[in-house]
């Protein structure tokens, strides 16, 4: 482990798959016959807020049924034992990394357990459903939306993410298909920084060629194995 001073880990839906959360490309990318792209955009929310809130209400409620798996736990233990700089960037909107115990953690696509008020921009904790009657704590209007980064919106904390990527010496990407930008381009930034780049996935992702190494297999087994090899 002593050979690395600045590690960045990117995770995607594949790390939570063995906890029982569907990935986006499961079910051919469909939810109740809607394409994910048709429920995860600001336009979809404007067109049919009830449908979009239902999509997120169901997924938020589903978090009560799942727990972190060995991949989440191994990352949390690794962060505690590593003395250099460590950043975990997740595209996932579940709270499994938080519950496992990671602290240097960025949810770049938002969080199911938060909402934000479109009037004031304030972010609130959100443990139950959002409906058309839900009022925010900041201005008491009914303008709450899920705190989720939809297609066409700017992912969160990009400056902090790029700053870590530009100086990292190890970049590990776990369980992401490499279909969605800017996350799919992080490996290129790490390559330019001269980092060792490793992908852990059930199968090579769309961007697999950009990584120096591939570890193929389920995250719950391969992540603990790989981290203990460092």
107 is catalytic: no
> Of 67, 137, 139, 158, which lies in the binding site for ligand BJW, with binding defined by CB under 6 A?
158
Q: Does 208 bind ligand BJW (CB under 6 A)?
A: no
Q: Residues 6 or more apart from 48 whose CB is under 8 A from it? A: none
Distance CA 4, CA 6 (A): 6
Stretch that binds ligand BJW, among 73-81, 123-131, 136-144, 148-156 (CB under 6 A): 148-156
CB of 4 to ligand BJW, least distance (A): 22
Place of tokens 């798959």: 17
Question: 230 and 206 in contact (C-beta within 8 Å)?
Answer: no
CB of 49 to ligand BJW, least distance (A): 15
Q: Residues 6 or more apart from 89 whose CB is under 8 A from it? A: 8, 9, 10, 11, 105, 106, 108, 161, 164, 183, 186
Stretch that binds ligand BJW, among 42-50, 74-82, 133-141, 150-158 (CB under 6 A): 150-158
Q: Residues 6 or more apart from 200 whose CB is under 8 A from it? A: 172, 173, 174, 175, 214, 215, 217, 219, 222, 223, 226
Q: Does 96 bind ligand BJW (CB under 6 A)?
A: no
Stretch that binds ligand BJW, among 13-21, 43-51, 134-142, 207-215 (CB under 6 A): 13-21
Q: Does 219 bind ligand BJW (CB under 6 A)?
A: yes
72: which 2 tokens? 């989440």
> Of 13, 74, 88, 161, which lies in the binding site for ligand BJW, with binding defined by CB under 6 A?
13
Judged by DSSP in three states, 213 sits in strand
Q: Does 173 bind ligand BJW (CB under 6 A)?
A: no
Window 18-57: contact mask with ligand BJW (x via CB under 6 A)? x----xxx--------------x-----------------
- Which of the following is catalytic: 109, 116, 124, 147? 109
| Backbone φ and ψ of 123, nearest 5° | -100, 135
Contact set with ligand BJW (CB under 6 A) = 12-14, 17-18, 23-25, 40, 91, 93, 109, 148-155, 158, 175-177, 179-182, 201-203, 205, 218-219
């Amino acid at each position: 482990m002593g050979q690395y001073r600045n590690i960045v880990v990117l995770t995607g839906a594949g790390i939570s798959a063995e906890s029982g959360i569907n990935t986006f490309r499961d079910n051919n990318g469909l939810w109740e016959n809607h394409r994910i792209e048709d429920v995860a955009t600001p336009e979809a929310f404007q067109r049919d807020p009830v449908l979009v809130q239902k999509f997120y209400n169901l997924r938020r409620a589903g978090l009560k049924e799942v727990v972190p798996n060995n991949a989440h736990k191994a990352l949390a233990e690794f962060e505690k034992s590593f003395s250099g700089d460590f950043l975990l960037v997740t595209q996932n909107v579940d709270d499994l990394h938080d519950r496992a115990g990671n602290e240097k953690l960025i949810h770049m696509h938002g969080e199911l357990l938060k909402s934000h008020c479109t009037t004031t921009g304030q972010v609130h904790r959100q443990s139950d459903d959002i409906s058309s009657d839900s009022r925010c704590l900041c201005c008491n209007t009914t303008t709450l939306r899920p705190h989720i980064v939809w297609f066409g919106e700017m992912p969160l904390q990009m400056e902090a993410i790029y700053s870590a990527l530009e100086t990292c010496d190890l970049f590990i990407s776990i369980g992401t298909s490499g279909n969605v930008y800017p996350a799919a381009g992080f490996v290129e930034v790490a390559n330019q920084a001269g980092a060792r780049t490793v992908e852990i996935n059930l199968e090579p992702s769309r961007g697999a060629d950009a990584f120096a190494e591939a570890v193929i297999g389920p995250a719950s087994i391969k992540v603990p194995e790989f981290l203990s090899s460092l």
